[in-house]
């Protein structure tokens, strides 16, 4: 998946659930694989993808970075789309060190 794909998906939909489902499908991941990578229950991931639950910011970050392996700039686009504050690159660098 390329960054331009994600950007166009964000313009094509109004729902975060659609973006997350498309991310998973584009990376050919199962619900269980996403759940395992993000440290969440498969049923919770399914509810998010169906629009039944709206993930909190930290949950969404775990999905974007751990499960979908998005680079921070693309993760920030999704966070903003969902109405959350973006990640700060410097803060992430300090945490990783």
Lowest mean pLDDT among 38-42, 52-56, 67-71: 67-71
Q: What is the DSSP string of 39-85?
A: T--HHHHHHHHTTS----HHHHHHIIIIIS---HHHHHHHHHHTT-P
Q: What is the pTM of this model?
A: 0.80
Q: What is the tally of structural domains in the chain?
A: 1
CA 5 to chain centre: 14
Q: Distances from the Cα of 28 to the Cαs of 8, 46, 96, in angstroms?
A: 19, 15, 28
- CATH number of residue 58's parent domain: 1.10.260.40
Domain that holds residue 46: 3-96
Query: In this model, does residue 97 exceed pLDDT 50?
Result: no
66-85: pLDDT as tens digits: 888 888 888 999 998 899 98
The predicted pLDDT at position 9 comes to 72
88 DSSP assignment: -
């Amino acid at each position: 998946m390329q960054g331009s794909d994600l950007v166009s998906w964000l313009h094509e939909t109004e729902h975060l659930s659609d973006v997350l489902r498309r991310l998973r499908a584009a990376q050919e991941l199962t619900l269980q694989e996403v759940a395992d990578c993000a440290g969440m229950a498969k049923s919770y991931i399914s509810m998010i993808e169906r629009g039944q639950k709206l993930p909190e910011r930290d949950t969404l970050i775990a999905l974007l970075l751990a499960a979908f392996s998005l680079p921070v700039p693309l993760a920030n686009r999704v966070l903003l789309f969902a109405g959350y504050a973006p990640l700060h690159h410097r803060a992430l660098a300090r945490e990783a060190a």
